[in-house]
């Protein structure tokens, strides 16, 4: 999984306006995008937009040609104290997801409720 993280510093007192814009939903079709997941985190001073998708992170971009992106940027512009910037991953950890085909459980044997005779008599 690759990530695109955009950090947007907010002007003082613009947290409520940011929540209002987020309540309207994304300004583009997420279903038709390359992203698998999207979340926005808010602090008192910033909005952090997280986009997740398959493939290399260089392919995760917001389409600058899409006019809805520009309209959304105009609406958000009143909230930003600085130009938003992309955050690069410096450290990441993810719990491994073991294959369902691999089991470390003991093999059932004679007398086990699931086993019975391992070898025919």
Strand 2-9, strand 85-87: pairing: antiparallel
pLDDT greater than 90 at residue 13: yes
Q: What is the average per-residue pLDDT within 114-119?
A: 55
CA distance 98 to 102: 7
Number of C-alpha atoms within 13 angstroms, CB side, residue 5? 12
Q: What is the pLDDT of residues 32-57, one digit of tens each?
A: 777 889 999 999 999 999 988 886 65
Q: What is the pLDDT of residues 73-93, one digit of tens each?
A: 788 889 999 988 888 888 888
Show the domains of the chain with their CATH numbers.
2-87 (3.30.70.100)
Determine the pLDDT at residue 108.
Answer: 66
CA distance 121 to 93: 50
Confidence of residue 121 (pLDDT cuts 50, 70, 90): low
CA distance 1 to 77: 30
What is the model's pTM? 0.69
């Amino acid at each position: 999984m690759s990530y695109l993280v955009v950090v947007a510093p907010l002007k003082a007192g613009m947290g409520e306006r940011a929540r209002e814009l987020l309540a309207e939903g994304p300004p583009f079709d997420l279903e038709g995008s390359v992203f698998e997941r999207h979340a926005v985190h808010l602090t008192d001073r910033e909005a952090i937009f997280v986009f997740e998708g398959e493939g290399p992170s260089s392919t995760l971009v917001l389409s600058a040609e899409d006019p809805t992106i520009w309209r959304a940027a105009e609406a958000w512009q009143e909230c930003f104290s600085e130009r938003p910037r992309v955050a690069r991953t410096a450290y990441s950890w993810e719990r491994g997801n073991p294959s369902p085909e691999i089991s470390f459980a003991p093999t059932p044997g004679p007398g086990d409720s699931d086993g019975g005779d391992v070898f025919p008599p």
